[in-house]
Structure 1
Amino acid sequence: MLGWVFHLAGVVLRGVAADRVPWANMFEFSLTGTALIIATFLAVSLRVRLAYLGSAVLGLTVLLLGVATVSFYVPVVPLMPALQSGWLVIHVLVALLATAFFGLAFLVSLTYLLTTRRRGRPSRLTRLRDSLPGPEDLDRLAYRLTIVGFILWTFTLIAGAIWAGRAWGRFWGWDVKEVWTFIIWVLYAGYLHATATRGWAGTRAAWLCIVGFAAVLFNFGVVNVFFTGLHSYSGL
């Protein structure tokens, strides 16, 4: 919680320096997104016991912030015309929240795989595993977190299409960023469908959830940097 307070202060100060919302490029997206991961973790912790995920959440946050600071940092610059819209607040903020829930589901799925590993001689890992919730509880929690993230990601797609219609005169143009956003939606839709109707649970569901978040990271860290298109807003 103390770390999140300082983190939030950094997000607010970046917004004050830019005189706009602090998520208009990759560095700002990383800064705000990781703050929302921590905030989501703390909020969910009010209803569900998540203390066992604290170190993992902090580890993921520090890793993402480190990469963003080393590779994505840019000074404050004015917004390009295409971003000067109220949809920047709605579309990107909802995408950030969806990513936060997907990130938590990813960590819960990793924890599930840890709890189901074949047991050997007693060790620190065994003692850690014994202190975690049961596999069924972790599987159920990952599913619930993914549902929330999927709803938010669906709205992200819809809001992005509306914004594209206003900015470029078309709702969908097969831009590489649009395609990968849809791929992520399909992956998580497949996860939810397979879990709810096909009885996919446990290890297969956990791996599919992990693949979904890997696609989210690829969309952000690779598509934004190495592919050109109408969504090339990295600022790098």
Structure 2
Amino acid sequence: MLVDPITAMWSDRLFQATLVVLLLAMVFTSLEYASRRIARSRRTSEAPVAVGASAAEAGGATEVAVVEPSPAGLTPDGGKPGRARVDRYGRIGVSLMILAVLLHLGSIVLRGLAAYRWPLGNMYEFVSALCMLAVAAWLVLVYRHPAIRPAGVFVLTPVVLLMFLAGTVLYLDAAPVVPALQSYWIIIHVTTITLASGMLLVSGVASLLFIVKRSEKPAVLATKLPSAETLDRLAYRVTVLAFPLYTFAIIAGAAWAEAAWGRFWGWDPKEVVSFVAWVLYAAYLHARATAGWRTARAAWINTAGFATIVFNLFFINMVVAGLHSYAGV
């Protein structure tokens, strides 16, 4: 028996459950983001204000500031401990994302068991694993930097879209892979490129949000985002971790190409676009470390790198014919 249909069915059911849970997580993260209060604070004048004097008596001008929900559950005005409504939305969203990752991991494992192979043999499986790793990477970042949690809706939006495309347009029944993919290199090369791509999705979203925050357009969206410095630092640190993985994946792909086709490099469209993306990310890291480029210009390079990866994933795989076309849709 080449495929276990019962295990394959449960893999599909877990994938569908994952999409439902991610949609719920997206709802709660959207509620958290939309519920962040815009408070008006008074800027005092240069002259000292007497104790007990009101803000109106001080004659200060008003300025708009975003009140961040306290990670510890404190109310924005520093009152007694308690979970504010906006904080509960965020916690529920994170909990749902954790559940989604567990369900998603079960779906991927069952997919491999059903087909008796490594579960990264076609675009459906690749996109599925990429989405799981992107959500997992975001959860790690939220754990380390709780202040970025309200921006989770912007990470979940492309993830949910990709999951929907994977479950509809890209879906393939569990089956053995073609002989060209029956190699231990699929574990090394495809797994590494999937991990790097999932992390770079988070980095690309962070750079896009950084550009929005810097330009303050649209103002309704930009006002409630984390600070530009936080988003820029987040994008840079994730790319620093993902770039070596992406580099190793390209090298492993070249080694696999030599073993399968007798050459390390053949100007295949997927190879060329992958190398272009590598150059863009190398340029971003260089620009980010160069004085005068630590602005939106570096962020645009990072965004272009992520756009190239998306172009490689969909246009090159689905439109352009090449040696990598056997992955199918």
User: TM-score, normalization: structure 2?
Assistant: 0.66
In structure 2, give the amino acid aligned to 1:201. Answer: R
SS of the aligned residue for 1:71 comes to coil
Matched residues in 2 for 1:230 and 1:218: separation? 17
2:197 — aligned with what? Answer: 99
- Aligned-pair identity (%): 45
Q: 1:52 aligns with which of 122, 145, 150?
A: 150
1:151 — aligned with what? Answer: 244
With a CA cutoff of 8 Å and minimum separation of 6, indicate the structure with the bigger relative contact order: 1
CA gap of 1:168–1:140, structure 2 versus 1, over 3 A, is same
In structure 2, give the amino acid aligned to 1:206. Answer: A
In structure 2, give the amino acid aligned to 1:159. Answer: A
Which 5+ residue runs of structure 2 have no aligned equivalent?
Answer: 1-97
SS of the aligned residue for 1:197 comes to coil
CA gap of 1:119–1:174, structure 2 versus 1, over 3 A, is closer
Larger radius of gyration: 2
Q: 2:214 aligns with which of 105, 116, 120?
A: 116
Q: How far did residue 234 of structure 1 move?
A: 2.9
1:185 — aligned with what? Answer: 278
In structure 1, give the amino acid aligned to 2:288. Answer: T
Is the aligned partner of 1:61 residue 2:154? no
Matched residues in 1 for 2:217 and 2:179: separation? 57
SS of the aligned residue for 1:79 comes to coil
The ranges of structure 1 where at least 4 consecutive aligned residues each deviate by more than 6 angstroms after the TM superposition are: none
CA contact (8 A) 1:136 1:202 kept: no
Q: How far did residue 198 of structure 1 move?
A: 4.9
1:19 — aligned with what? Answer: 116
CA gap of 1:116–1:109, structure 2 versus 1, over 3 A, is same
1:75 — aligned with what? Answer: 173
Matched residues in 2 for 1:221 and 1:20: separation? 24
Matched residues in 2 for 1:127 and 1:200: separation? 24
Q: How far did residue 3 of structure 1 move?
A: 1.8
In structure 2, give the amino acid aligned to 1:219. Answer: N
Matched residues in 1 for 2:221 and 2:290: separation? 34
CA gap of 1:163–1:48, structure 2 versus 1, over 3 A, is same
Q: How far did residue 137 of structure 1 move?
A: 2.3
Q: 1:2 aligns with which of 86, 99, 123?
A: 99
Is the aligned partner of 1:163 residue 2:259? no
Q: How does 1:187-202 map to 2 (within 5 A)?
A: 187-202=280-295
Q: How far did residue 124 of structure 1 move?
A: 5.3
Q: How far did residue 232 of structure 1 move?
A: 0.9
Matched residues in 2 for 1:108 and 1:126: separation? 13
In structure 2, give the amino acid aligned to 1:218. Answer: F
Matched residues in 2 for 1:170 and 1:119: separation? 48
CA gap of 1:163–1:62, structure 2 versus 1, over 3 A, is same
Matched residues in 2 for 1:11 and 1:75: separation? 13
In structure 1, give the amino acid aligned to 2:240. Answer: I
Higher helix share: 1
Matched residues in 1 for 2:215 and 2:220: separation? 14
CA-atom RMSD in angstroms = 1.8
Q: Deviations over 1:111-135 (max 9, x none)?
A: 2123223379xx8546523xx2x21
CA contact (8 A) 1:26 1:233 kept: no
Matched residues in 2 for 1:41 and 1:156: separation? 21
Is the aligned partner of 1:32 residue 2:129? yes
Q: How far did residue 149 of structure 1 move?
A: 1.5
CA contact (8 A) 1:109 1:210 kept: yes
CA gap of 1:128–1:86, structure 2 versus 1, over 3 A, is same
1:128 — aligned with what? Answer: 224
1:205 — aligned with what? Answer: 298
